[in-house]
Amino acid sequence: MSSLHKSRIADFQDVLKEPSIALEKLRELSFSGIPCEGGLRCLCWKILLNYLPLERASWTSILAKQRELYAQFLREMIIQPGIAKANMGVSREDVTFEDHPLNPNPDSRWNTYFKDNEVLLQIDKDVRRLCPDISFFQRATDYPCLLILDPQNEFETLRKRVEQTTLKSQTVARNRSGVTNQEQNIKPQFFAFRWLTLLLSQEFLLPDVIRIWDSLFADDNRFDFLLLVCCAMLMLIREQLLEGDFTVNMRLLQDYPITDVCQILQKAKELQDSK
């Protein structure tokens, strides 16, 4: 470990040991990358994402409250299967003349149940596709939620409100690189949708993705900065895009050629400072 890296770790430790965390100082340090040693990145992300407050004295109670809130959310969002009740000798309430597994009514609880299962299956596929070469995404978690996984409990699956949320990509079209032109009909939706919705997690190797996230989370307007990162990515390959045809350019945009994320972040920072 270099002396410079040790110095950065010490800088983070100095900020994090204060009774009240200096948020601006933490943002400044984190923007240039957070060391992973000693759980520093985990703790910094919690603070930057407002999961933990700035007052250290309240961390223990807040963590306990957050975990209880998570358990409450699970209870509110999952349904009780009739099979569990039947096994306990209790009459089923979910299978009635009006509502049953074959009911096509959109308001049917069973209809919602089957749709939720489809969403959960897609989520599982997406997680496994994220980084298939990394075992972390292919194995069971070390901290499973027994409330969901235990077949003996009375809960089974998510109920409602599993909704997809997306960031609008249209803003990327209004950049200074001039590569989204009508002649080739390359629309931002063809590439920026994936960049934005997955926070660039499929464009770079996982260590580089985490490095980008350090800067994103450290920025107070993180989603605006994400757009600037995308603009920087376009500007850095501008000449190649102007020379290529539709097929070549789509391949460039869907398999981004630059691997130096620090160069991309530096360009995005320049765009931010020039606004």
pLDDT, one tens digit per residue, over 70-127 is 888 776 666 544 444 444 454 555 556 566 666 677 777 777 777 777 777 787 777 7
113 and 145 in a single domain? The answer is yes
- Does residue 234 sit within a domain? yes
What pLDDT, on the 0 to 100 scale, is given for residue 126?
76
Rg of the chain, C-alpha, whole Å: 24
The answer on 266 and 196 residing in a single domain is yes
Token pair of 129 as six digits? 């596709």
Is 224 inside a domain boundary? Answer: yes
On whether residue 70 sits in a domain, the answer given is no
> Does residue 30 lie in a domain region?
yes
Q: Do residue 212 and residue 268 come from a single domain?
A: yes
Residues 83 and 160 occupy one common structural domain: yes
Q: Would you say residue 202 lies in a domain? A: yes
User: Which run of H or of E encompasses 111?
Assistant: helix 109-130
Q: Are residues 82 and 53 in the same domain?
A: no
Q: How many distinct structural domains can be found in the chain?
A: 3
Is residue 48 included in any domain, yes or no? yes
Place of tokens 């349904």: 79
pLDDT of residue 183: 64
Range of the domain at 151: 78-164
Q: Strand, helix or coil at 79?
A: strand
The pairing of beta strand 78-79 with beta strand 157-158: antiparallel
Share of the chain above pLDDT 90, in %: 42
Number of other CB atoms surrounding residue 263 within 10 Å: 12
At residue 251, what is the residue type?
A: R
Kindly tell me if the per-residue pLDDT of 57 is higher than 60. Answer: yes
> What is the pTM (predicted TM-score) of this model?
0.69
Residue 180 lies in a domain: no
The answer for residues whose C-beta is within 8 angstroms of residue 198's C-beta and 6 or more apart is 130
> What are the tokens at 139?
């194995």
Instruction: Note whether residue 181 is domain-resident.
Output: no
Which letter does DSSP use for residue 62 in this model? H
Instruction: Please indicate, yes or no, whether residues 50 and 109 belong to a single structural domain of this protein.
Output: no
- Ranking 16-20, 158-162, 208-212 by mean pLDDT, the lowest is 158-162
Q: Any idea what the Cα angle at residue 215 is, between residues 209 and 220, rounded to 5°?
A: 135
